[in-house]
Amino acid sequence: MGAMTDDRAAQTAPVLLHVEGGVATVTLNRPEAMNSLDLATKDLLVPTIRQVADDPAVRVVVITGSGRAFCVGQDLKEHIAGLMAGDEGLGVTVVKHYNPIAEMLATMNKPVIAALNGVAAGAGASIAMAADFRIMVEGGGMNLAFAGIALSCDTGSSFWLPRLVGVAKAKELLLLPRTLSAQECLDLGLVTSVVPADAFAGEVATLAGKLAAGPTLAYGAMRQAIAFSAAHSLTESLAFESDLMNSTGQTADHRVAVDAFLAKQKPVFEGR
């Protein structure tokens, strides 16, 4: 199934895509099910994220939900029905859907914002953690809910969670899951900011616009450098930084920045 855009898709599609001004907004659109991830949603979400990752006109990606939840993870009703019917286990959808979603969000060559319009649980929380910025509405929350249904964690939570909150706290949140309030998420560093409901959309739009106007390839290089350093030595990380500095130094945006500096003007980046 191909990626869906709001220009040709019914607004009832489980994933919506809107692109404007260099900002791609991917909206999980199953509000009646708290944007839980059934097969139809996952089958559409994977190519949608791939589309925005590959589109050079997209300079920042926002992922959000419709209704009162961001995403509560796997659709358990569908999963239970599958178990009763003898369908394939969760390992299949992890490989086919969750792993590609996590990797694309974390590695695309542009920044990603998770606009958390409500609760993020299970794989929904993991998807949020893959982003560079997490803006949460007041009244939102996060729950690493896997243990509650006797499952291991997925969608990269074992990778991002200890990096955000430390190993000991990550184990606590995974082994003893509970819903963390927006303020607790902020205090732990799980979210970037918490915003009142009436200011939420504007805050997301302001950040997305700022990033969309920035040096996109430099942002992508910084994402790569941080990810690389997490699993490599200082010497290897320095060498990788050198390569990235060389490549970004050859971009049009760098030349624009240099010329603007010399002219004492503000640079206008084009993301190339």
| Blockwise average pLDDT, block size 10, the chain, 272 residues | 50 94 97 95 97 97 97 85 72 91 96 98 97 98 94 94 96 96 97 98 97 96 95 96 95 94 93 90
Helix 216-229 to helix 234-248 angle, to the nearest 10 degrees?
170
141, 185 in Cβ contact below 8 A?
yes
Give residue 86's domain range. Answer: 15-212
Predicted pLDDT at 195: 98
125 and 62 housed in the same domain: yes
Q: Residue 10: what pLDDT?
A: 60
Residues 6+ apart with CB under 8 A from 156: 102, 103, 106, 126, 129, 130
Q: Quickly tell me which residue has 């009244």 as its tokens.
A: 139
How many distinct structural domains can be found in the chain?
A: 2
Q: How far apart are CA 267 and CA 149, in angstroms?
A: 51
Q: Is the residue at 81 inside a domain?
A: yes
Return the pLDDT at 97.
Answer: 95
**143 and 226 assigned to the same domain:** no
Contact present, 63 and 103 (Cβ < 8 Å): no
Residues 222 and 195 in one domain: no
pLDDT confidence of residue 54 = 97
Gap between the Cα atoms of 109 and 272, Å rounded? 11
pTM score, whole prediction: 0.91
Give the pLDDT score at 8: 47
